[in-house]
Every structure is written in C-alpha cells, then in structure tokens.
Amino acid sequence: MEDKELFEKLGKIEVRTGKERQIKSYVLRNNVLDEKDQEIVRKYFPKYGLFYEEKPLNFKEVFNNNKPNIIEIGFGMGDTTAKMAMFKNDSNYLGLEVYLKGFVKLLSTLGEYSIDNVRIMRFNAVDVLTGMIEDGSVDGFHIFFPDPWPKKKHHKRRIMNQEFLHLLATKLKKGGYIYMVTDWEEYAEEVVALEPNEPLLTNPFGGYAPPVAWRPMTKFERKGMEKEYTINEIWFERV
C-alpha cells in the first residue's frame, strides 16, 4: 500500500448504514499526521494495524495462536492497553479507537516494546462488531472510562445502552465477560440497570464488581481519585 493511501485511510472513518456506505471524516483535534507520526505508521502499522474489511475477522490468523481474544473499545492513548497486554500476555487484545493521536501513540508503544499480542484498528466500534466479529467468538470486552456525556441532553451519545449491550452479548462466548469501569456514578448506575433486561447476560455480583488486580490504573482514574470520585467497576457474564 502506498503511503498516501495508508495515511488517508487512517484519517477517515467509514460509516455504514444498511447497504449504504459513507466516508465520514471525524473532526478531531490534531487529526493530522505529522512527519514523526507518519514514520511511526509506516514502520509499525503493517504488523500491528488492521483496516476494516467486510468479512469475519479470524483471530487465529491475526494472532497466530488460540489464546482468548479480548476487544477493548476506546483505548485512548493506549497506555493501559499496552501495560495490560504485557502483564496478562495469556490473551490477545484487539483495540478499537477513533482518536488518531491515541492510535499512533499505541502503535509506537507496541513497536517500541515488541508487544505481539495486540492489534489495533481505527474504526467505529459498532461497525466492527456488526461487520467483522462473529457471534460467540469473543472472550471478553473492556470498556474503561468511556465518555460519560454528563449533560442530560447528551446522554443518548453514551456508548453503553440496551442495544449496544445486546450487541456485545451476542459476540461473547458462553462464560465470556463485559468489563466496564467508570468514575461517573450516575452512568454506572444506568449501566448496571441494563443487565436485568438482557437475557444473555448475568451480573455475578448483583451490583458493582470488586477491583480486578490485572487492570492497570488509567490516567482518568488517577484524575478521578484526585477529585475523590468513586471508581465503579461493572462485570457482566454471558450465560
């Protein structure tokens, strides 16, 4: 692939609605690849990056192993993703993120530390799940500190709702999990309340889950703790 085509594809998100296809350029700060970023992409994308394709993703072919497959939705700058992948290297991780700077930052980290059990994609998570991920193929989903969209008029933009929860549930293997962490208590309460209406899932803790030892602390978590926010951990399992 020529550099120009590669960089242009990274700068855009393909959004599919039914059978129609649209190319939508997300208006984000610093949504431009400078020379340093271009070199990182040129060097590391062929090994760690994936593009959206209208066909099922074969995890075994991508990672060349049969380890459990975890999908992280919205990895931000990717620091937690990299640390977790190195600490818990008995699993494979597919990271989905639309923030270009964060995507390139994680590419750089993966290459610098030769982290082989992570692949990343800059694409809309719903499209990836519906178009590339087969039902019953995922061992776990991680959603750490998603945007809470605190204003009531913006709540509809929150990624976790009943429809999305069902989509995640259909992609899980039996016994697989959805692990979400947020410091926005009202959002956490809203998500916990979704589970009783999803027959494919159960909440083994009845409410919030205890902290998981293998999850590294994120910068958002540190900021929240400095403001004395409560860190709410949510764990659902596929029945």
Residues identified as active-site = 147
Strand ordering across the sheet containing 138-144: 49-50, 118-121, 92-96, 69-73, 138-144, 172-182, 232-238, 201-202
CA dihedral (214, 110, 103, 57) positive or negative = negative
Report the alpha-carbon distance of residue 75 to residue 106 in Å, rounded: 9
DSSP 191: H
> How many CB atoms neighbour CB 171 within 10 A?
20
Element (H, E) at 141: strand 138-144
Q: Which residue from 101, 92, 89 is spatially nearest to 72, judged by alpha carbons? A: 92
| E strand residue ranges, 5-48 | 13-17, 20-24
CA dihedral (25, 27, 28, 31) positive or negative = positive
Report the alpha-carbon distance of residue 159 to residue 74 in Å, rounded: 10
